[in-house]
Amino acid sequence: MRLALIGTGRMGTPIAARLRDAGHQLVVYDLEPEARQRMAAAGYEVAADAAAAAAGAAAVLLSLPDAAAVKAVVRELPQVELLIDLTSSLPSVTRALGRRMVDAPVSGGVAGAEAGTLTAMVGGEVSDLEAARPILEAFASHIFHAGPSGSGHAAKALNNALSAVALSATSEAVAIGRYAGHRPEGVVKRLNAGIGRTQNSEVKFPRDILTGAYSSGFGAGLMLKDVGIATALAAERQIPIPLVALVGQLWTLVPGEEDFTRVYEVVAGWGGSPGSVRCDLDHFDLAVAATCWLAARETVGVAEAEGLQRDRFLEIVNAGSGRSEATLHFESGLGFGPRQAVRALDAVRAVAAAGRHAVPVLALAAELWRRC
């Protein structure tokens, strides 16, 4: 199949390799001359511009920085049989393009693209998804139909917002654990044995944070962009999501080019007094779980307003980086109520106060639970 890929950056390049290895006839284009030269040196057919790349293609894939870039490129394109937008973009932009297309943002990072194990969250008509599926399967091993046009973008942004909240809350809990005599490894182990377990505590803390590797392959700037999309969606729908919004502010403190797991270093640097107070690890577990549950409630509300079915959205999240015990058991609950949540969060905040250590995410969660 003759395909065009526009955008050969960190994600586009390994996706191009997967498409070529799958036997597709591929022509590529990138706005940056250096990228075009690099792809030509690697043996790819490189077009002079986006329109030339799209000419005669059965489908055109976009892997671009943002919604503005998508709009600019699509204006240059002729009518094509199918447009597949892999960009983390805005649902409203996709819906306004007026093209036969699917929005299919992916998660799994560069490593997932290289291995062909990305997760694609697809918005659009089922028939268009089925037309795109043989192409997506070259680099994505998990393909979910999120719902109507724009739903893929919404699902991707909201999933990453959940991941950001979980990583932030877990970072605060692990960072202040020392004031209660708990080593970081001990806090993570307790979370992973309890209701505070998340994809971040299971994967990123042992692999990327506790080792000091900080090598998840996902940049802090990309996380900030996705959380920004989530907050923009909520604003359009006039849905308050204070916890996600606060976490978005936190990510502005991490240099965009750094790995997003380095948010832990930022959080860990907010205190350091030698004060201490006793606090059982059960409180840390419940505090993180209660925070993740609030974030799940916020994002489910936005997802449903964007036209996603609740169960479908949670299925996507639970297969991805936004997974937590709160999302896995969102309907049945985790066996605690507001009183227990506030008690645990206040106990953990007392630990932070002993170390004069800021925990803004856990503190806001405590205030939100008081209102329940």
Distance CA 97, CA 79 (A): 12
Quick one: tokens of 340?
A: 């227990």
Q: Tell which residue, 145, 153, 155, 99, has the closest CA to residue 125.
A: 145
Cβ atoms of residues 247 and 226 within 8 Å: no
Our measurement of the distance from residue 311's CA atom to the centroid of its chain's CA atoms, rounded to an integer in Å, reads 18
Quick one: tokens of 290?
A: 């209660």
Distance CA 337, CA 2 (A): 56
Q: Tell which residue, 64, 50, 53, has the closest CA to residue 25.
A: 53
Distance CA 89, CA 106 (A): 11
Residue 191 to residues 42, 53, 213, 241: CA-CA distances in angstroms?
45, 49, 21, 25
Residue 290 to residues 148, 157, 192, 338, 370: CA-CA distances in angstroms?
31, 21, 15, 9, 12
Q: How many CB atoms lie within 10 A of CB 80?
A: 19
Distance CA 26, CA 40 (A): 12
Active-site residue numbers?
156
Cβ atoms of residues 320 and 119 within 8 Å: yes
